[in-house]
Amino acid sequence: MFKADELYVNMGPQHPSTHGVLHLGIKTDGEIVKDVRPHIGYLHRCFEKSAEGVKYSGVIPFTDRMDYVGAIGNEWPAVLGIERLLGQEVPPRGEWIRVVAAELQRIASHLIAFGTYGIDMGALTPFFWAFRERERVLDVCERMSGARLLYNYVRPGGVMRDLDPRTIEMARAICEEMLRRLPEYDGLLTYNKIFLQRTTGVGVVSREVALSYNLTGPNLRACGTRWDLRRDDPYSVYPEIEFDVPVGIDDASLGAVKGDSWNRYRVRLLEIEQSCRIVLHALDRLPAGDSWKRPKVVKPKPGEVYARAEAPRGEIGFYVIADGTDKPFRFKAKSPSFCALSGFHAYAKDHLIADVVATLGSIDIVLGEVDR
């Protein structure tokens, strides 16, 4: 029901601030948002149903196309589920290379979040700076897999291609460069007065609201909850790696409160630093040997498993049911962007229309992962 002074405004489905093909139906009273309802489905392409019609290894390229700027974060849990059904082991070198690949992908993904969020807030330079570094990260990914966006790199039993000395040198160089660049990012945007006014205290998500909508990843950690699957439900060789889990802070001098848009932005920048340190550590620890112990047949016995991993946007999980054939009976995906968007009406209510853009950009969704 609409009151006399209320107006319904459509944002999207094609709009420069929606970070994908998303339609937001906004009920306003003047400039104040009274309700927001996301309408999704414009990118739906039947991932889960398609996965039932191909062999297990054929599902991996489909997962790439969910979060297409964090593809390796999708591949890994899908392959973990297949490996657990098969009882497949991964060579130590393959495990460490997976860590390198996943953390480089996290850096590339968060750089997009940094650059595009700057554009949302009216700052163009951060976008160019972010893509300057991101192109170098993608150069490494291209040498690893042969692709720059959709990799099909993580396979049951390891990774499809080993790291050569030149790739290792390039990965080390860009991580060391990123560690030097991050203070410049802070000076450019993080503590910019206008940026702080646009993001601090805006779109605040309390810990209780975050948990009720099952927010994960940086969106949950920005609320002050130190939860990271790499540490709290560890997989691969992450238990052997020391790293910090950044969380949101209250800072009265800046006007920041836990769970606001500024903290979600800040946590991602801090995660870039941690990912760089993880990559450098993994490259130092990289053992000799094979990187891929290829299974003879990918045909697991009947059973079911849920496998999850810490992707750039949070917990990506796959519930896989095997029926004894070489094709999955069910390949159900759980995506962090869908969970983050499902509670958007709670984050954006009673803010200005302009704050809808700030809040949406800060949760860093990818619509390919929402719609699947």
Question: Does a structural domain hold residue 15?
Answer: no
Q: What is the pLDDT of residue 302?
A: 95
Give the pLDDT band of residue 12 (cuts 50, 70, 90).
Answer: confident
pLDDT greater at residue 307 or residue 14: 307
Say if residue 3's pLDDT is above 90: no
CA atoms of 234 and 227, how far apart (whole Å): 11
Across 22-26, 55-59, 95-99, 118-122, the highest mean pLDDT is recorded for 95-99
Question: Does a structural domain hold residue 62?
Answer: yes
Range with the lowest mean pLDDT among 126-130, 133-137, 351-355?
Answer: 351-355
Q: What is the pLDDT of residue 92?
A: 95
Say if residue 14's pLDDT is above 90: no
C-beta separation of 62 from 68 below 8 A: no
DSSP letter (8 states) at residue 189: I
Question: Does a structural domain hold residue 8?
Answer: no
Residue 143's domain comprises: 56-371
β-bridge mates for residue 318, sequence order: 307, 333
CA atoms of 371 and 355, how far apart (whole Å): 24
Which of 324-329's residues contact partners 24+ apart within 8 Å by CB, and which partners? 324/299, 324/300, 325/299, 326/55, 326/56, 326/297, 326/298, 326/299, 327/52, 327/53, 327/54, 327/55, 327/56, 328/51, 328/52, 328/56, 328/59, 329/52
Q: Count up the domains in the chain and report the number.
A: 1
Q: What is the pLDDT of residue 4?
A: 64
| Residue matched to tokens 């779109």 | 203
DSSP H helical ranges for the chain: 47-51, 56-64, 71-86, 92-120, 125-145, 165-185, 193-199, 207-212, 218-221, 229-232, 261-285, 336-342, 344-348, 353-363, 367-371
Question: Does a structural domain hold residue 36?
Answer: no
C-beta separation of 340 from 213 below 8 A: yes
Give the pLDDT band of residue 43 (cuts 50, 70, 90).
Answer: confident
Q: What is the pLDDT of residue 282?
A: 96
Question: Does a structural domain hold residue 209?
Answer: yes
Question: Does a structural domain hold residue 33?
Answer: no
* pLDDT 10s digits, 286-303: 999 999 999 988 899 999
Cβ neighbours for 93, distance < 8 A, ≥ 6 positions apart: 158, 162, 286, 287, 288, 289, 290, 291
What's the mean pLDDT when you consider all of the chain?
92
Give the pLDDT band of residue 15 (cuts 50, 70, 90).
Answer: confident
Question: Does a structural domain hold residue 24?
Answer: no
Say if residue 134's pLDDT is above 80: yes
pLDDT greater at residue 268 or residue 9: 268
Question: Does a structural domain hold residue 49?
Answer: no
Q: What is the pLDDT of residue 62?
A: 93
249: CATH: 1.10.645.10
Q: What is the pLDDT of residue 333?
A: 93
